[in-house]
Structure 1
Amino acid sequence: MIPRELFKKIRQIEIRTRGLVHDIFGGEYHSAFKGQGIEFSEVRPYQIGDDIRTIDWNVSARSGETYVKIFEEEREQTLMLLVDVSGSEDFGSKEKFKREVAAEICAVAAFSAIQNNDKVGLLLFTDRVERFVPPKKGRRHVLRLIRDLFAHTPQSTGTNLSVALQHALHVLRRRSIVLIVSDFFDDGFEPALRALARRHDTVAIHLQDPREEELPAVGLVELTDPETGETVLLDTWSRSARRVFAEQAYARRQRTAGLLRRLHVDHVPIRTDEGYVEPLIRFFRHRNRKGR
């Protein structure tokens, strides 16, 4: 039985994100993630301008008229959502935690996928695989995935991206779309990401919060790492302390961006204080231009 408040939140997410899919993202998703090939559909009489390479000589010979083959995109695909639910995702200095933003982004992607008759699966991870839901189609399945995103209580607080990436490699037999939603507060995952990106169409949704990048001058502050529990006391009146904090955050972002660029993984930075709609639209349209 789903708690009333959780049911209400899931329903609100469904209404909001399905509206976005209907108005904006459905067509953008279809264009950005092409099918894996083409398949024969039918034959029709030749028309001026048709490519002569598509002529069906057997049908033309039997009928006495010229016919061409019509092909359609082999549309059905699998979208796998790899979502970081480690301790750092339960952080947000504005209206929403990173985990809530992640859930809405996943809902948009999932509803876009099923609108295009694709399957959707979910893998929640910390420093282990917390939950795996095999890919399926349909609205009820997507609602289950959204429920899992909100209702799952992680067993751990740490992050190990390699474990999640290797699990995805193991379970995805056919080429799929893999959406990794994380703040990428981890190291050492390059080999696993390289292997995944070679076999699958891989996209990194990079969640960022302003308070993880820059501190306000408010005096002595205790900062606790939500993944390790380690606490440090920082004097935010100190300009040098704030500068070092900002420089380290910037360096971390640049390392992540550089790694994704080297591995040819699409990188979509999304800040919790700016919304996700515009960054996703830019990403889809960039993919469309690149594809053309």
Structure 2
Amino acid sequence: MAARPPAIPERALKALRRLEWRMRGRRVETTLTGDHRSVFRGRGMEFDQVVRFEFGDDIRDVDWNVTARLGDVYRKMFVEDREVSVVVVFADHPALQFGSGTRTKRDLLLELAALVMLFGALNRERVMLIHQTPGGTHAYPLARGRDRILAIVGALFASAAPDPLGVDRLPLPLVRHDIPRGAMVVWIGEVPDDPPPIEWRAWTRHHQVLGARAEDEWERDGPAAGPFTAYDPVAGRVVRLRGDAEARARHAAWRDQREARWRAWWSDPADRLTIGPEQDVLEALSLFLRNREKSGPTRSYR
């Protein structure tokens, strides 16, 4: 269902203003904007027409068949050359509330979602937010302009974290018919528990879908050697954890299965972003976008 953004709480508004100032720094501007208007490099969407090639156009768009027939260089123009839609899907899983350091995974990913939407505002894109929780899904329709997008980001910042003792299953990261064809979809959340369904491959042919997650140090390396106690928010009790060889082997097997699911959903390394607890979120997003720009021609999404 569509939801109306509430007024932005003052604490969230201050955080958003700090993010805006960081984004507008000289280094971020020069590394992320470039010649193309969209920082998300969504070229190759729906074909529109053929136009004469001009100095500065991307040579990857040259239509060699038309060029050979007419004796002059022509390039393909796509719908996204004129307008881009950025859709952020924030999968608010209770497991995101885990964090062995000073910040939870949810804190990191909320900042990431805000940055993606603020980049959209900065580059005059249309932005849509889909907020998935165990209690339901709230969709904020496509919006353009700083104030409207800030209101959507503020609504996400103001949302309460899901109850860790509640239902821990979310919809799979796909497939809504109200997402514009050819949109750039940035899915942000926990690694899905299930492998992708058969519809996933077909749906990703019509959209660019990027996956982003946060990985805690314990998830990556396992707990330190030796037994210790910790509070399990899902079980609602204190548990005793072992750090012996058997526990480390089980952790390694769990991690292998988790990474296999992550790669099954996003098989192209250029389409998946993992943020560690020691990373600066803005720097991680900046590096990710620069690497995507260097990764070569974009697939055609029709």
CA distance in 1, matches of 2:89, 2:280: 20
**Equivalent residue for 2:153?**
146
Are 2:194 and 1:184 aligned?
Answer: no
Output aligned runs, 1:255-274, within 5 Å: 255-262=260-267, 266-274=271-279
Are 2:10 and 1:4 aligned?
Answer: yes
Cα drift, residue 250 of structure 1: 2.0
For structure 1, which segment, 129-138 or 109-118, has the greater mean C-alpha deviation from structure 2 after superposition?
A: 109-118
CA-to-aligned-CA distance 1:120-147 (integer Å, 9 cap, x gap): 1111112353321011111112211221
Distance 1:96 1:23, change over 3 A: farther
- Match for 1:196: what amino acid? W
1:253 aligns with 2:261: no
* CA spacing shift, 1:42–1:127, aligned 2, 3 Å: same
- Cα distance between partner residues in 2 of 1:10 and 1:285: 23
DSSP 3-state at the match of 2:130:
strand
Paired with 2:125 and 2:29, the residues of 1 have a C-alpha distance of 16
Structure 1: which amino acid aligns with 2:260? Answer: R
SS in structure 2 of the partner of residue 7 of structure 1: helix
SS in 2 for 1:122: strand
- CA radius of gyration, larger in: 1
1:162–1:193 Cα contact (<8 Å) kept: no
Structure 1, 213-222 or 203-212: larger mean CA deviation: 213-222
Task: Report how far residue 3 of structure 1 moved.
Answer: 3.5
- Runs (4+) off by over 6 Å: 40-44, 67-71
Aligned residue in 1 for 2:138: 131
- Aligned-pair distance for 1:239? 1.8
Indicate conservation of the 8 Å contact 1:130/1:154, yes or no. Answer: no
- Which residue does the alignment assign to 2:211? 204
CA contact (8 A) 2:44 2:78 kept: yes
Contact 1:89 1:99 in 2 (8 A): yes
Aligned pairs for 1:54-73 (under 5 A) are none
- 1:166-216 C-alpha deviation (Å, 9 max, x unpaired): 4xx221142211111112152255445434323211111121111233212
TM-score, normalization by structure 2: 0.73
Residue 118 of structure 2 corresponds to residue 111 of structure 1: yes
CA contact 2:126–2:144 (8 Å) conserved in 1? yes
The alignment status of 1:224 with 2:232, answered yes or no, reads: yes
Q: Which residue of 2 aligns with 1:88?
A: 95
User: Which protein has greater RCO, CA pairs closer than 8 Å, 6+ apart?
Assistant: 2
Q: Do residues 33 (structure 1) and 42 (structure 2) align?
A: yes
Range moving further from structure 2, 154-163 or 105-114: 154-163
Letter of the 1:247 counterpart: A
Decide which of 12, 19, 27 is 1:13's aligned counterpart.
Answer: 19
- Work out which of the residue numbers 156, 162, 170 in structure 1 matches 2:171: 162
Query: What is the TM-score with the length of structure 1 in the denominator?
Result: 0.75
Would you say 1:285 and 2:290 are equivalent positions? yes
| Structure 2 CA distance for aligned equivalents of residues 107 and 2 of structure 1 | 13
Seen in structure 2, the aligned counterparts of structure 1 residues 288 and 70 have a Cα distance that, compared at 3 Å, is closer
SS at match of 1:16: helix
**Could you say what the CA RMSD is over the residues aligned between the two structures, in angstroms?**
3.7
- Over 3 Å counting, the alpha-carbon distance change for 1:116 and 1:220 in structure 2 is closer
- Per-residue CA deviation, residues 247-272 of structure 1 (Å, 9 max, x unaligned), is 14422432223313558882212112
Q: After superposing the two structures, state which structure 1 stretch, 169-178 or 75-84, moved more.
A: 169-178
Judge conservation of contact 2:117–2:153 (CA < 8 Å) in 1: no
After superposition, the Cα gap between the structure-2 partners of 1:145 and 1:96, relative to the gap in structure 1 and judged at 3 Å, is farther
Q: Which amino acid aligns with 2:154?
A: R
User: Which range moved further: 95-104 or 173-182?
Assistant: 95-104
Percent identical among aligned pairs is 21
AA at the equivalent of 2:22: R
